[in-house]
A and B are shown apart, each in its own frame.
Chain A
Amino acid sequence: MNIKKDTIVAIFLLLFCGIMINSSFDIEDPGYQGMKASFWPTIVLCLLSIMCLVMLIKSVVTEAENNINSNDTNLTNVFFKFKNALICFLMFVIFLAFLDYLGMLIGGVLFVFGLLTMLGGFELKKIIKHFIISIITIGIMWSIFTFGLKVILPEGEILRIW
C-alpha cells in the first residue's frame, strides 16, 4: 500500500475545514456596524484550507519519504507502539467520567494508582509502592489547593453522602 501519512492528514484537515466553513454560515449577524462575527474565522479557515491543499499536493507530488508501511497499518503493531499513550488517554477519560461521583481526592488517588500500576507493572511490591505514592502525592496536592490556595475541588457524591 502506497499511502502517505501527510496525504491522509491533509484530507482529514480539508474535511475539517469544510465542516467549519459550512458551520461559519450559521454564525448570526446582529446587524451592527463594523466587522461581522464570521469575517475573521472565515479568513482563517480559507487560509487553512489553502495550506492544507498545498500540503496535500506536496504529499502527492514529492518522493515518498513517510509512506505508511505495512507495520503502521497492522493494528497490533499500532497498539503496541502507542500502548502507554492509549492507557493514559483511557485512564484520564475514566477519571473525568467518574469525577462527579468520586471527587478529586478519591478520583485522583485511584487515577494515579491505576495509571502507575498499568504503566509500571502488577507485581505485589510495586502495587504497594504505587498505592503509597498515589496517596501521598494526591494527598499533598489536594491539601495545598484546598487549604493553601482555598480552591474548592470537586468533593464527589461519595464523600458528600458520607
Chain B
Amino acid sequence: MIDVILQAFASIVLDPVTLGLMFIGTLAGILAGAIPGFTIAMGVILTLPFTFGMTAVQGLATMLGVFVGGFSGGLMSCMLTGIPGTPSSVATTFDGFPLVRSGRPGLALGLGLWSSFFGGMISAVILVALAPQLAFLGLEFGPWDYFSLIIFALTITVSLSGGNITKGLIAGLLGLFAATVGEDEINGVARFTFGFDEFKQGFAFLPVLIGLFAFSQLLTDVEDDKRAKSPLMSQSGAIVKVEHRQAILIILKRWVNLFRSSFIGIFTGILPAAGGSISNILAYDQAKKASPNRSNFGKGEYDGVIAPEAANNATAGGALIMMMALGIPGDIVTAVMLGALMIHNIIPGPTFIQDEPLLAYGVFIAFFVAHFFMVGLQAFSLRIFLLVTKIPMYVLASVILAYCAIGVFALHNVVFDIWVMFFFGVIGYFMKKLGFPLAPMILGVVLGKLAELNLARATGISDDILLFISRPWSLFFLLMAIISVIFPFYQDARKDSLFSKLYVPISMIILSLPLFLMGSPVRMIVATILVLTGGYFLYKRISSLNPN
C-alpha cells in the first residue's frame, strides 16, 4: 500500500508536467469561479477536451485543479464586488462583502481563502479514509443493488435540483432515453436510428454534456443584449494584500465552526446533485444558529465567512467520495470526470480503487496538492481577474462556442459530434427556459447505459423480479428513492401539518428495515438507533398533535 501511495505521490508531485497542468488548471478554475455567469462545472467541462491527449492521472489532476480553484474563485468576486461568482459562494457575500466595506478587504480575503483551504484539507482526509471503506461496501452489491442505487441517484438529483418535481423526473427520463439511442450494448441491436448510420454509435456522452450544459449556458449569458455588450463587471475592485497570518489565527480559534461547516460540506457533497450551492447556505445557517454573536451576522462577522467557504470546498471531497467508491457521480463535475475516465477505458465502480490503485491514490494526492496551488495562486489570479472582468460577455461567449466545437471534434474526430453538441445545446437552452432542471437529464445520460446493463445482468441471472425488494441493499436504495421523491413535498408542506411532522420519523423507521435484514452487528446497531430515534420523534410529535 505504501508503495502505491509513494508511486502516486511521485506521479503528481515529482512530475513537472503534471504540476504545470495543475497550476494552469487551478488558475483557470479560480477565474471560472470568479466570473459571474460561468460556473465551476462549465470550467471543468471546457478543460475536458485538453485532457484527451494526457494520461488519466494528468487529466484528472488538471480537472481537480479547476474544481478546487473554482470554489475559491467565487469568493474573490463576491467579496470585492458583492456579486457571487458562483452559486457556491452566495452565502459568503452576506458577511464577506460587509467586512470588505468596513475597511478589512485583506482580512476578508484571507479568511475566505484559508477557510477554503482548511475545509478542503478536512474533506481530503475524509476522502482518503472513507472512499476505500465505501468501496469495500460496494463490493457487496449485485446488479439488483446497483440498479436500485442508480434509481436512487436519479431521484435524489431530481428532488434536490429544485423546482418542479414532475419536470425534474421528465428531464431524468429524457436523459435515460437519450442514452438508449444507437446499438444496445447487450445484443448489438440498433435502436431509434431512423435509418441514419451516424446514430448507430449512439450519442457520445461528452458532446451531449457540453451541449446541454456549456452551450446552453453561453446562449443564456448573451440573451440580454445590453448585459452581453457591457463588461463582465461594472465594478471590479482593486488589488488587495491578503492578511494571511491573522486570518489563520482567527480561523483556528473558531475551529468548531470550521469542522462543523466542513462536515456539512462533505455530507452534502456525498448526496448526488447537492453541491456547493446548497452546502454554503446550510453551513452559514448553522453557524448563525450556533453563534453567540448572532446579531453580528450580515454585518461582517468572521464566522459568516468561515462557514460557507469551508463548506463549499469540503463539498468537492464529498462528491469525489461517491465517484471514487461507487462510480456514481455526486454532481455534474464528477460526472465529467467519470466521462474523462471512460475516455481512458477506465470504468469507475466499487472495484476501481482495487483495480486502479495508482490512479485512485493519484486523485487523492492531486486533491490535496490542488489546495496548495489554490492558496499560492490567489494573489496572482486576482490581477488576472481584474483584467478579465473588463471583457464583455459576448466576446467570451463567441470564442468559447468556437472552442466547444473544436474540443468536441477532438474527442472522436467526427463532425457528427459537433452536430450532437449543437442539438443538445438547443434542447438544453429551451429546457432551461421552460423550467426543466438540467442536472437530472445529465445524470440520466451518464447513468442510463449502466442502469440498463445492470438490469440486463439482474434479469439474466434470475427471472425473479422480487429480488429487487428482497435483497437488503436494493430495498434500502429503493426506499431511499421513494423518500427522496417525497422530499420536495415535505419541503413545501406547512410546518404544523401532520405530513411534515411524520415524514422524518417514519422515514427513519422504514429505512431501518433493510439494515436489520443485512444481519451484520454494526448495521443492526445502526438500524436499532434509527428505530429508537424515529420512534421517539414519532411519539413526541403525535403527543404534540393531541395534548389531551
Check B177–A84 contact: CB distance below 8 A: no
Q: Mark A51-78, 1 if CB is under 8 A from B, else 0.
A: 1101100100000001000000000000
Check A138–B402 contact: CB distance below 8 A: yes
Residues of A near B186 (CB, < 8 A) are 34-35, 37
In terms of DSSP, what is the predominant structure of the interface of chain A?
helix
B468 to chain A, nearest CB (A): 13
With beta carbons under 8 angstroms apart, the residue of B192, B223, B229 that contacts A23 is B192
Check B406–A145 contact: CB distance below 8 A: yes
A60 to chain B, nearest CB (A): 13
Residues of A68-123 contacting chain B, CB below 8 A = 82-85, 88-89, 92-93, 95-96, 99-100, 104, 108, 111-112, 115-116, 119-121
Residues of B near A128 (CB, < 8 A) are none
**Which stretch in B26-34, B114-122, B408-416, B521-529 binds the other chain?**
B408-416
Residues of A near B190 (CB, < 8 A) are 27-28
Number of interface residues of A (CB under 8 A): 65
Check A35–B398 contact: CB distance below 8 A: no
Residues of B near A38 (CB, < 8 A) are 191
Q: Does B403 contact A (CB under 8 A)?
A: yes
Check A51–B399 contact: CB distance below 8 A: no
Check B401–A92 contact: CB distance below 8 A: yes
How far does the alpha carbon of A41 sit from the alpha carbon of B451 in the complex, in Å? 11
What residue in chain A is nearest B50 (Cβ atoms)? A149
In terms of DSSP, what is the predominant structure of the interface of chain B?
helix
**Contacts between chains A and B (CB distance < 8 A), count:** 161
What residue in chain B is nearest A137 (Cβ atoms)? B399
Check A45–B177 contact: CB distance below 8 A: yes
**Which stretch in B201-209, B338-346, B452-460 binds the other chain?**
B452-460
Can you list 25 A-B contacts with CB-CB less than 8 angstroms, sorted by A residue number? A24-B192, A27-B189, A29-B189, A30-B187, A35-B456, A35-B460, A40-B180, A41-B180, A51-B170, A55-B167, A83-B225, A84-B223, A84-B225, A88-B219, A92-B422, A96-B415, A104-B409, A112-B402, A115-B401, A119-B394, A138-B402, A141-B403, A142-B406, A150-B53, A154-B409
Please name the 8 residue pairs, one residue from A and one from B, whose CB atoms are nearest each other, closest first.
Answer: A37-B189, A149-B53, A119-B394, A48-B173, A115-B398, A35-B456, A41-B180, A151-B410
* Chain A interface residues (CB < 8 Å from chain B): 5-6, 9, 13, 20, 23-24, 27-30, 32-38, 40-41, 44-45, 47-48, 51-52, 54-55, 58, 66, 82-85, 88-89, 92-93, 95-96, 99-100, 104, 108, 111-112, 115-116, 119-121, 133, 137-138, 141-142, 144-145, 148-154
